[in-house]
Structure 1
Amino acid sequence: MSQTNDLYLNNPLIHRDRRLGASDSEWVRSFACEDLKPLIVCRGPIRKEALDVFGEMGMTHVGILLSEKDSIVYPNALSPELRQIKNPENVHRVPDYTGASKEERVERIGQIIQIAKDNGYDSIFAGYGFMAEDEEFVAAIENAGLTFIGPNSRTQADAGKKDEAKRTALQVGVSVTPGINNVTARTLVKKYNSRDKLLGLVKSHGLAVDTAVLNDKKLSLEDLADEILYASYEKGLDLYTIEELSAQVQYEVEQMFKEYPGSRIRLKAIGGGGGKGQRILGASLLTLKKATDAQIKEAASEAPTLVREVLNEVKANGVGDNKNVLVELNIEQTRHNEIQLLGNGEWCITMGGRDCSLQMHEQKLLEVSVTQEGLALAIAQAKKAGKKSEVAALESDLKVLKRMEEDAAKFGAAVGLDSASTFECIVDRDRYYFMEVNTRIQVEHRVSELCYSLKFTNPKDKNDYFIVESLVEAMALLARHKKRVPKPERIPRFGASVEARLNATDASLSPHAGGIIRYWSKPVEGEIRDDQGISMVNPDTGLFMRYRVAGAYDSNIALILTKGQDRLESYREMSRVLGSTSLRGTDLGTNLEFQYGLTNWFIGQNVMAKPTTRFVVPYLTMIGLLKEEAQKLDTVYAFLQMKKAYAKKVAEEFPDDPKQGKEISAILDRKGLLVTRPMDRLLEDPHLLSGWLSVNRKNFSIEKGKVVWHDNPFVILADTYRYLNMQWNPAFPAAEVIWEHDDELLQTGLRFYTTLSERLKLGLHEFDKLKVLLSKDKPQAGFSADEWSKIQSAHAGFEIGLELLGMLFVVAENTGFWELRVEEDLEVTIPDRLHEVDLQARMKKVLVPPPATKADEIVAVCGGMYYGQEAPGLPPFVSEGMHFEKGQPLYIIEVMKMFNTVRAPFSGTIDKIIIQSGDGSIVQKGQPLFKITPDEKFVEIDPEEINRSRREKTLAYLKAVI
């Protein structure tokens, strides 16, 4: 973790010594963990965090696994944490962390346990990746006499598998998402449709099923099938084929489409996590009032392909694997909330909630704390402001949060939780449904850490206690001392926190692997940057060390966290951090600008908003519309035409005084690049434009087709330079900051308006009042007539030419940008058009145009691992000479652990398959894959026609601002 030293300045609960063995209290010393010797078998930010925390706890024998994919397969992707490990003997190499198949996974488990035994480790920490939720892995560790720093195998079995977790939730009275959690049992019953046939199956395969179960005639066929299936997993047998399972899933999906018309269905592999192993189908039915049987069958026909995809992603397609897939109703207008849990097997506590609704591809992007204290403060603030609808919405959230925390603690106690876990829910207005439990620490766990510390008190002496601020520390404490650890009290720490995931993605949030980070600005004061150690400089030279973002693992580069006394302050801090971050490299794609724009969109709207899990794709579609419109403008041409308009106007007003025109022209020339440079930056990046428009949404109006400013455009221009991190800095390249002579003009103007506002007793942003005063002929605020005349002239000089900024508001107006908004009751209104699948697909291409290609080629849409068939043993998607239709699958790219099916953008014929290296080969973005003949000829647009169109559009925009 890279962060500033005064991160938690003046907080009495921070900076306590984690070495409990150094305490003056005998009771506290009894909970020391210095003798723990953990082997860390995960990667990414959590490995770096664990290394730091274990070191701070006084542990001296700590080791890590190092995948060859980190160090050999991908050059310059060497794990940055190695820079802080002094003893190379504590680094242990493995081919990869998980193995590509069930056999390799079993082999890796044995290898890890052997590494631990051979090298003196007594415990294993798996973080939030690798096999942290693998019951088999945890049981093997326990059987080997080692300690697993995480939930025990019994908890993993009862809570870690999604089907078992839903059954447990039902048993303890927790509401669950409607759906089917035993489709494998139904598959088996379909194949062996009587008790006798099922019992014959047990006998013929010699399955070890409890005799009491076999003799229980009251047991349903499906429950009996479940018991038989578990016995088959133990023996490594498949009692049904993937084709049979897929057919059963397809049938169940059809039935659910009929039962829940106008809904989509979600398929979830029971061992998924982090967005893996989940697919949604039925988008075509959403807009239909009543789907026909044929339409339902067509929508459900996707199921077999999606079943294979989810099983492939979680590597559950081997012989004897548990291939159960949950078939659930996808509750559309929902928020994704989760509750942090911690237990010791006897007690279980909650540490508030997190809203993780801002996500895409089932992977979270921005996570926000949700605590009872934070909601109570927001309610008080809304009441003071007279916002009745907001008060009602927040009070509803508070009630739901209290219920979720109560149920989460009840669930944790029921499964004997003895470490950290997360209780995940979907929230639909004033209701919530249990979704799953992650029996591991979450990527976003620090969001909860920033809101609460844990106080462990001696039962015999309330003045004898110690504070724990890290969930990783708490997990180690519980692993080492188990049920001796007393139930802690949670202590409020900061009012709110937010985490942005900095991912290797392009502007449309599609994975972008393979880039090299060559420079990363240092963390600013208050920033928490969990970056895997990438920002650690070379200890010998003090220089930044380049790092390749490899495509073998997930897309995360870093976790950026901020905190505040309330949510608005934490968001503003996040905006300041992201806006100050400079990240550069070769072929490097990140979502930095997306996160910055999104954060400011909420700041400009309302940070207490209730976006659903369906928000991000429509939001991106709107961003695409912004870009499409912005590309039609030419700021240089606009500026020149504005000069001509002013020259004409001055010539009409002063026909006998050419000096006036020359002075106006000189003033405008002085300002040209001062105005157009930040405008061009905003027009080039629609994510930045979105955030800028949102924070300035109340600073203008359009009246009779003209932009009217309600805040001083000169002050907004200065704010825009700050927003774009383009303030004057002699240490930065001139191309990245305001030019020095422009900054002198900007600062002169700011001093003028600051002084004038103070004299007039106005705020710097009270522009409407300032305009009224400056329009008066009579001097104001005690100025002399001569001074007042000069002030009016100076104001006119500073403002002239800034009209161009108003074109940005017209872009928003013309795209319907303001229609995507947060209402008074905190619900987010999304225009229907932004849900249109065709528009979403087109705007994705606007945000990230397809790789340049010849008319007779199809190239890789991104870098990753290429597969030409849906699964081993199945026929290839394409063959030479075949004709393909638009939307037909052509190949699969595995990137950042996700399997992406790439479909034909048009119809044509495969003339030649260029890629000959076969499945599992690495391809680069833009690499030719197939020679083709398209059905239709592509017609290139004349560049001069594009320029002519831009000039016409720009002139139309000018009419609204001058």
Structure 2
Amino acid sequence: MSNEHYLHNPLIHADRRLGRARSRWVQQFDCSGISPLIICRGPIRKEAMDVFSEMGISHYGILLSEKDSIVYRNALAPELRSMSDPNRIHRVPDYTGSNKEEREQRIRQIIQIAHDNGYNAVFAGYGFMAEDEAMVAAMEAAGLNFIGPCSRTVHDAGLKDEAKRTALRVGVSVTPGVDNATALTLLKRYPDVASLAALAKEHALEIPQEVFASDMALDDIADRVLAASYARGVDLYTVEELCDTVTDVVAGMAEKYPDNRIRLKAISGGGGKGQRILGIGETARTAELVREILNEVKTTGVGDNKNVLVELNIETTRHQEIQVIGNGDWCISMGGRDCSLQMHEQKLLEVSVTDESLRAAHARAQEEGRTEEARALERDVRILTEMEDEAARFGAAVGLDSVSTFECIVDRDQHFFMEMNTRIQVEHRVTELCYALRFINPEDPDDGFTVNSLVEAMVLLAAHGERLPRPERVLRHNDSVEARLNATNQALQPSAGGVIEFWSDALPGEIRDDQGISLHNPDTDVFMKYTLAGAYDSNIALLLTVGDTRLDVYQRMAESLRRTRMRGKDLATNLEFHYGLVNWFIGQNINARPTTRFIVPYLTAVGELRARAGNIDLSHAWRRTVEHSTKGLDADLAEELRTVMERKQTLLLRPLEVMFSQPHVFSGWLSINRDSYTLIEGRVSWNTNPIALLAELYHYLNMDAGVNAPAARVIWDHDDQILRAAGSFYDTLHERSGVDDWLALQTLLEDEAAPASFDAAEWQSVRAAHRGYQAGSEILALLPAIAEDTHFRALSVNPDLSIAIPDALLDPTHQAQMAKVLVPPPAASADEILAQSGGMFYARETPESEPYVRPGDHFAAGDPLYIIEVMKMFNKVYAPFAGTIDDVLVENDGVIISKGQPLFRITPDERVVMESADDIAARSRRVTDEFLARVL
């Protein structure tokens, strides 16, 4: 957990603790009588346990799934270690079950566990069961206090179709689209009131007869019939019929909006699950994607609500969300969060959006003459105000009696309501670090208490909701940011498995929600190795920082990431990605407004850096650099310079090797140093002393002398001595010459005549020392030269804060190629197809479908071969080339496979000619020489 624990759960107040309340009014909100069962995983479970303990709640239990990522070797997890009574630790196979029957069975199990063990409440955190209407209703019926929105709110706000209708009714802007595909499907077969009434009678559906005699719209009557059918557990339409309807709707929208893609969303999805985007001209794939969606959210059973929303995909979408809280009477907003930095609907970096921060940024932009930026920020202030107003209005309309999130998409100067998540979000800490809630005694304005934790607020609302007065929003920090540390590879593809064998301690000011992973064993003081099971999602931890400005929080986050060290067996994380991305924004413009489509082009640009760097032979480059530096010198001087450069070889090459092997880190450095050089007639010219840049590079890579790390990870002693001596030399030279600017100092050093502050002999010694210190530093120019050879520099922030993305970075084929550069596929023989990642294998689209391929089948490049489920997401894998299936090497669906495992034995249509090692080496030397021509 964070070593800044007061920032994690700062809720121990003298006016809140039992027996120490300052007034009877405050004391009435004591929550020690709540006895909750925690049925969620990961950091939120640990956070809930801490909050409950600090609130004086002593009797609580935790429910563990057999698939849960609470796997330590030779040590108890912190959650388990803190549980003094083992009878309060309960286990189930998984939290939700794989289908409707298992889900209902799990709900009954949870209720029984609660009754048998004296729990009177349930806390479900941000898992999907937290917004499962059936589960919440079952808890309420069983007499349990559900810590979260009530079942009516979950139904009215949580189901995406119901929420959209409510939004329209209360004047909230919504995305163009169709929210009643199932009703339209039913009406194709039963097109009038009489046939709908007969259908209801045939299936004994509980619908008041006055519904059929009312003046309700026909599609609303159809919705009533469908709702009754779900309650009874019968199907009135088939998946195929639904697919036909959705296909028709998509075709109509594609004709009306030819320049937009179409988004399909299951009404019960969320967190990226149950959503697909149809590209322009891909109407024919609609049925395939509908089936994928229903299978992913496990609503293919009889009686499941299979409704799928069809929405216009706003192509310049920024994903923003508003935190809302209410007690069923009052409802207030708590600022926003920008979650646009995401991929495959999975959020990566989440940034607070507060009125205070936006207004301050707007004022700074105006003062500094950045007119377009000021206009963009002024527009954002207006949009935030509108979204907060709509969020509170919508929350009141659905009777919100807990904490929820109002999600919107923002398209420049307009916004649309997308959905409401009736649960606490993973990123809730971003909000609670910016705002607290102050509850004040209506009869005494000096009497009250402050709540800094949204989990605490949920408990208070569950226990005392109706009596809680409308709170005041209190500013804590202007800005905060959260980076999701995930188990993913360099291309941000989920990477299941792996063991964290070491993780450096949190820094002062760093907030780390990590389920206690980074703790040492309290008995042995040895780091507790942690196995990433990854059955539910790829998240390892949440890393947060706070500050007075967005630049402040990004710089603090960059420093935390810079000094973080993590290693382990088969471990892949997005730590380097975050370090590069945060520095990209610091170097470009911290107020930039990326859309949800930004990350893939950004990854593609990083892939281009990796591709170019991968063709550089550094050893060959160094030999060429030495040859260039000594060319034309007399033999003795050349030998002396070669000796000097030999001593500097590791000083200069080691950080370059790191940069070339870590393209995300390379990206961040290029961004923050984008003004350090100028391209003159195609050649790199430094605006900054290369020696100073080299020292900063070692620091950027956390390779400074004195860092507690193995020798392979820090600067070597003799290199450090050379670098320090060079730094001291130039500091003295700047001081004595009175010249601060590097370019001016270079001009001075080119003159043989000594300046006034030096005698002639001394000046010649200075010039000779300068040549020695600079010798070989030319090779550093390979870094910007590589960037200039890609689209990296063109990926930039416009004056109006939008991001310019070159067309090449938007090309899907190029994007796929660069993803493979970032993470090369496993080496396979010509007659095999190997698993691209570990996960759960499925040979077919749905349990009822035929396998994609069988032995003897011919497949074309781009045909689907199988589905891999990795960390809750279903990913369809397509054939990279054409061929014939000789044998399928995985016998059953649902089998766990590992990366690189052979899946199919095949005969390719064409044999691939492999490049020889000699050919590769020759190509690398040729490419290196081409780059050096721009550097030396």
Please tell me the TM-score bracket, short chain as reference.
over 0.9
Rounded Cα–Cα distance in structure 2 between residues aligned with 1:71 and 1:813:
43
Deviation per residue, 1:112-141 (Å, 9 max, x gap) = 111111111111111011400111111111
Query: Displacement, 1:197?
Result: 1.6
Query: Displacement, 1:14?
Result: 7.8
Alignment partner, residue 486 of structure 1: 469
Task: Select the residue among 134, 154, 158 that pairs with 2:152.
Answer: 154
Query: Displacement, 1:757?
Result: 3.8
Gapped runs of 5+ residues in structure 2? none
CA contact (8 A) 1:71 1:78 kept: no
- Does 2:907 align with 1:933? yes
Query: Displacement, 1:863?
Result: 0.6
Alignment partner, residue 235 of structure 2: 238
Q: Equivalent pairs: percent with the same residue?
A: 57
SS in 1 for 2:609: helix
Alignment partner, residue 288 of structure 1: none
What letter is aligned with 1:222?
D
Alignment partner, residue 24 of structure 2: 26
CA contact (8 A) 1:725 1:737 kept: yes
Structure 1 residues 726 and 908, CA gap change in structure 2 (3 angstroms) = same
Task: Select the residue among 805, 812, 817 that pairs with 2:780.
Answer: 805
Rounded Cα–Cα distance in structure 2 between residues aligned with 1:628 and 1:530:
35
CA contact (8 A) 2:677 2:684 kept: yes
Alignment partner, residue 370 of structure 2: 387
Query: Displacement, 1:85?
Result: 2.1
Structure 1 residues 859 and 584, CA gap change in structure 2 (3 angstroms) = same
Structure 1 residues 73 and 446, CA gap change in structure 2 (3 angstroms) = closer
Alignment partner, residue 221 of structure 1: 218
Rounded Cα–Cα distance in structure 1 between residues aligned with 2:521 and 2:925:
50
Rounded Cα–Cα distance in structure 2 between residues aligned with 1:72 and 1:715:
45
Task: Select the residue among 944, 951, 956 that pairs with 2:918.
Answer: 944
Deviation per residue, 1:704-745 (Å, 9 max, x gap) = 222110111111111111111111236421111111111122
Structure 1 residues 150 and 72, CA gap change in structure 2 (3 angstroms) = closer
Rounded Cα–Cα distance in structure 2 between residues aligned with 1:649 and 1:80:
67
Rounded Cα–Cα distance in structure 2 between residues aligned with 1:14 and 1:818:
46
Deviation per residue, 1:62-84 (Å, 9 max, x gap) = 21101122389998998652232
Cα RMSD after superposing both structures: 1.9
Rounded Cα–Cα distance in structure 2 between residues aligned with 1:509 and 1:78:
30
Rounded Cα–Cα distance in structure 2 between residues aligned with 1:854 and 1:664:
48
- Does 2:866 align with 1:869? no
Task: Select the residue among 717, 720, 723 that pairs with 1:743.
Answer: 720
Alignment partner, residue 802 of structure 2: 827
Alignment partner, residue 654 of structure 1: none
Query: Displacement, 1:688?
Result: 1.0
Deviation per residue, 1:799-827 (Å, 9 max, x gap) = 22111111111101111211110011111
Alignment partner, residue 879 of structure 2: 904
What letter is aligned with 2:505?
K
Query: Displacement, 1:777?
Result: 5.3
Deviation per residue, 1:77-105 (Å, 9 max, x gap) = 98652232222111101111111110111
Rounded Cα–Cα distance in structure 2 between residues aligned with 1:447 and 1:156:
23
Alignment partner, residue 573 of structure 2: 590
What letter is aligned with 1:875?
E
Alignment partner, residue 67 of structure 1: 65
- Does 2:287 align with 1:308? no
Query: Displacement, 1:329?
Result: 0.4
SS in 1 for 2:426: coil
Task: Select the residue among 525, 546, 550 that pairs with 1:567.
Answer: 550
Superposition map of 1:46-65 within 5 A:
46-65=44-63
Alignment partner, residue 612 of structure 2: 629
- Does 2:933 align with 1:959? yes
Alignment partner, residue 356 of structure 1: 339
Alignment partner, residue 93 of structure 1: 91
Rounded Cα–Cα distance in structure 2 between residues aligned with 1:768 and 1:74:
56
CA contact (8 A) 1:2 1:536 kept: no
CA contact (8 A) 2:340 2:596 kept: yes
Alignment partner, residue 528 of structure 1: 511
CA contact (8 A) 1:594 1:688 kept: yes
Task: Select the residue among 659, 667, 673 that pairs with 2:650.
Answer: 673
- Does 2:354 align with 1:371? yes
What letter is aligned with 1:932?
I
What letter is aligned with 1:459?
P
SS in 1 for 2:79: helix
What letter is aligned with 2:704?
Q
SS in 1 for 2:129: coil
What letter is aligned with 1:171?
R
Task: Select the residue among 166, 172, 179 that pairs with 2:164.
Answer: 166
What letter is aligned with 2:896?
I
CA contact (8 A) 1:517 1:585 kept: yes
Structure 1 residues 784 and 365, CA gap change in structure 2 (3 angstroms) = same
Rounded Cα–Cα distance in structure 2 between residues aligned with 1:769 and 1:210:
88
Alignment partner, residue 268 of structure 1: 265
Give the structure-2-normalised TM-score: 0.97
Structure 1 residues 480 and 649, CA gap change in structure 2 (3 angstroms) = farther
What letter is aligned with 2:830?
A
Alignment partner, residue 414 of structure 1: 397
- Does 2:122 align with 1:145? no
Query: Displacement, 1:15?
Result: 6.4
Rounded Cα–Cα distance in structure 2 between residues aligned with 1:65 and 1:124:
10
Rounded Cα–Cα distance in structure 1 between residues aligned with 2:428 and 2:75:
26
Query: Displacement, 1:367?
Result: 0.6
Query: Displacement, 1:404?
Result: 0.6
Rounded Cα–Cα distance in structure 1 between residues aligned with 2:766 and 2:351:
47
What letter is aligned with 1:262?
D
CA contact (8 A) 1:2 1:535 kept: no
SS in 2 for 1:39: strand
Deviation per residue, 1:467-522 (Å, 9 max, x gap) = 11111111111111112112111111112111111111111111100111111111
Moved over 6 A (4+): 71-78
- Does 2:611 align with 1:613? no
Superposition map of 1:394-433 within 5 A:
394-433=377-416
SS in 2 for 1:819: coil
Deviation per residue, 1:635-659 (Å, 9 max, x gap) = 12111111111111323xxxxxx33
What letter is aligned with 1:885?
A
Rounded Cα–Cα distance in structure 2 between residues aligned with 1:881 and 1:695:
54
Query: Displacement, 1:5?
Result: 5.1
Structure 1 residues 71 and 841, CA gap change in structure 2 (3 angstroms) = closer
Alignment partner, residue 698 of structure 1: 675
Structure 1 residues 428 and 760, CA gap change in structure 2 (3 angstroms) = farther
Structure 1 residues 553 and 784, CA gap change in structure 2 (3 angstroms) = same
CA contact (8 A) 2:146 2:462 kept: yes
Structure 1 residues 669 and 544, CA gap change in structure 2 (3 angstroms) = same
What letter is aligned with 1:718?
A
CA contact (8 A) 1:452 1:493 kept: yes
- Does 2:444 align with 1:469? no
Alignment partner, residue 253 of structure 2: 256
Query: Displacement, 1:19?
Result: 4.5
Structure 1 residues 19 and 743, CA gap change in structure 2 (3 angstroms) = farther
CA contact (8 A) 2:625 2:778 kept: no
CA contact (8 A) 1:335 1:612 kept: yes
Rounded Cα–Cα distance in structure 2 between residues aligned with 1:880 and 1:169:
51
Query: Displacement, 1:762?
Result: 6.3
SS in 2 for 1:817: coil
CA contact (8 A) 1:20 1:28 kept: no
Give the structure-1-normalised TM-score: 0.95
Query: Displacement, 1:215?
Result: 1.1
Alignment partner, residue 114 of structure 2: 116
Alignment partner, residue 191 of structure 2: 193
Task: Select the residue among 844, 847, 854 that pairs with 2:829.
Answer: 854
SS in 2 for 1:467: strand
Superposition map of 1:78-89 within 5 A:
80-89=78-87
CA contact (8 A) 1:40 1:126 kept: yes
